[in-house]
Structure 1
């Protein structure tokens, strides 16, 4: 019997709304008398057929999230779930698109509620949260500029990074360079979803066009081994979400997922859940499934957790505090 479920974990790739427990969204919709359509299966889980349908269901599930207090409750619910899987530190993607329609004043109110919930969760559950502001790629570059302004005006402290999510097949990453430059000038660290639905060239674009030091997913780099070696040499960190990739059909099983080969070739991989209730996963399940697929032991997972903490966008004092807990737990 292994102790993987109890191991302390670091998560860098988590969408706040996408981590909402289905029961939480159903309850909120009922409270507000909002009809969000047939987005649930009979067993209460989220229902979708493919990635693009998933995006629509995701946006429908956000409908009941109407104000800062809803996001306060959401943040607490999500962090309680994460902490139950042993997560000590998490970074979550936050979209001003869903938090006040990219209006700076409204965004500040939402952000205040989220940070209040994060403070309470740290006290109650022992988990630390930081935020990465994320425009939605398929909403277009102009709206991304508004999101970047929200990010730049609230950078520092809780808001530590800037990224991009959404439909990877919509537009080109270089179209969003203005927004990334603004975020970078405000002191925010850079990540980008790439190499999930597009191939290796998209990973190159994230690294070279946007200057991303972390890549969300990045798994399609495996189709170009020279790129895999370049990622390893440059020390770019991949926020890998194996359960998400398997659930969406990018790979047929954990055993056929490239995270094992990438790890063996020296790539700095991390383990993440992406949108856990959508993909029927948790951080504890990710660890267990990877253990079964690659026979990884606790030492491998401890190394990956340390890689994730080193790559975290938080300040040095927070890192030092989390590291002490990691080291105590791992002996």
Structure 2
């Protein structure tokens, strides 16, 4: 850490941290169901008389041992979401939470596997309900939501094709991208090329999780085999500087989730997280929460922690937000409106 950064950290006071926490924020990497407040899921489970008590700790928060168990708990929590109305209620809860943290634009991963079982007609019904709730939240809170359809990697390439068909059939101003999530240690990126090609032909923008658990080669495979323009996480690229430079040269944006990475043990602590190194080497980095209640974080927390750890001041974080706005999959009119909100008020 250079002397200038040390001094910035030393000079930060509570007033500056308060301003940083309250900056308007652009968030590109959230999983819709993973944003569900535990109290919402517990309440819905009680309404439906579904016992998922093992998914929670005594204090009511989500309980899991490791990443694979997290995926199991995530799917258990998702199991109480049965109808389009359930997902509309979830949308309301999620966007209220995001707006409270100063998020003005959010992209979220949505899986037709959880919304209609991959059937296009059923998916349309769920999507309509979510969009209606998002429109109400936009009017109430000023937050804009857009959806990225998500093949789930550990469900396999065949299901990914059905998911991509759902994406292609509903591509437009609201469904703006395709982005694979799930267990990165299952299969190869190239196994899902057909699904990504289908989405690309439908005009959708592309991202995929890579470099969260596997190393730099996985990041290169994502770029070369799926031809994505953004990568979810991508942080293990730091172990090969040629890969880092490739990301910078090709202007691939990373959807970085520092709190998630530290909580899951991808890196032992925030001061050892490579987000600042990647930024300084010219990679386009953004900040997101991933699955915030699962990882006990919020966008306010992320910003304050980055400020305290790396000396990121209002100017740096505003620049990060402008990078995120530039990489967002929305239309240009929406992007221009976001960028206007990011300008300091006079």
TM-score (norm 2): 0.94
Whether 1:154 and 2:150 are equivalent positions in the alignment is: no
What is the DSSP-based 3-state SS (H/G/I as helix, E as strand, rest coil) of the residue aligned with 1:281?
coil
Whether 1:291 and 2:293 are equivalent positions in the alignment is: no
What is the DSSP-based 3-state SS (H/G/I as helix, E as strand, rest coil) of the residue aligned with 2:140?
helix
Aligned to 1:271: 287
- Mapping for residues 13-162 of structure 1, pairs under 5 Å: 13-162=29-178
Aligned to 1:280: 296
Shift of 1:328: 4.2
Out of 249, 259, 267, the position equivalent to 2:275 is: 259
Aligned to 2:215: 199
Shift of 1:105: 0.7
Whether 1:247 and 2:263 are equivalent positions in the alignment is: yes
Aligned to 2:7: none
Shift of 1:175: 0.6
Give the 4+ runs in structure 1 shifted more than 2 A.
none
Shift of 1:37: 3.7
Out of 183, 189, 208, the position equivalent to 2:199 is: 183
What is the DSSP-based 3-state SS (H/G/I as helix, E as strand, rest coil) of the residue aligned with 1:26?
helix
Shift of 1:327: 1.3
Whether 1:10 and 2:23 are equivalent positions in the alignment is: no
Shift of 1:240: 0.1
Which digits, 9 at most, give the CA deviation of each residue in 1:237-265, with x for residues without a partner?
A: 00000000000011111111000101111
Whether 1:227 and 2:243 are equivalent positions in the alignment is: yes
Shift of 1:322: 1.3
Say how many residue pairs are matched: 330
In 1, the alpha carbon distance for the partners of 2:42 and 2:257 equals: 26
In 1, the alpha carbon distance for the partners of 2:51 and 2:151 equals: 26
In 2, the alpha carbon distance for the partners of 1:284 and 1:122 equals: 20
What is the DSSP-based 3-state SS (H/G/I as helix, E as strand, rest coil) of the residue aligned with 1:302?
helix
In 1, the alpha carbon distance for the partners of 2:118 and 2:152 equals: 11
Greater shift in the superposed pair: 34-43 or 218-227: 34-43
Aligned to 1:315: 331
In 2, the alpha carbon distance for the partners of 1:237 and 1:285 equals: 22
| Residue ranges of structure 1 left out of the alignment (5+ in a row) | none
- Mapping for residues 157-172 of structure 1, pairs under 5 Å: 157-172=173-188
What is the DSSP-based 3-state SS (H/G/I as helix, E as strand, rest coil) of the residue aligned with 1:163?
strand
| Residue ranges of structure 2 left out of the alignment (5+ in a row) | 1-14
In 2, the alpha carbon distance for the partners of 1:220 and 1:324 equals: 33
In 1, the alpha carbon distance for the partners of 2:47 and 2:259 equals: 32
Which digits, 9 at most, give the CA deviation of each residue in 1:142-164, with x for residues without a partner?
A: 00000000000000010000010
Shift of 1:231: 0.6
In 1, the alpha carbon distance for the partners of 2:243 and 2:157 equals: 27
TM-score (norm 1): 0.99
Shift of 1:43: 1.0
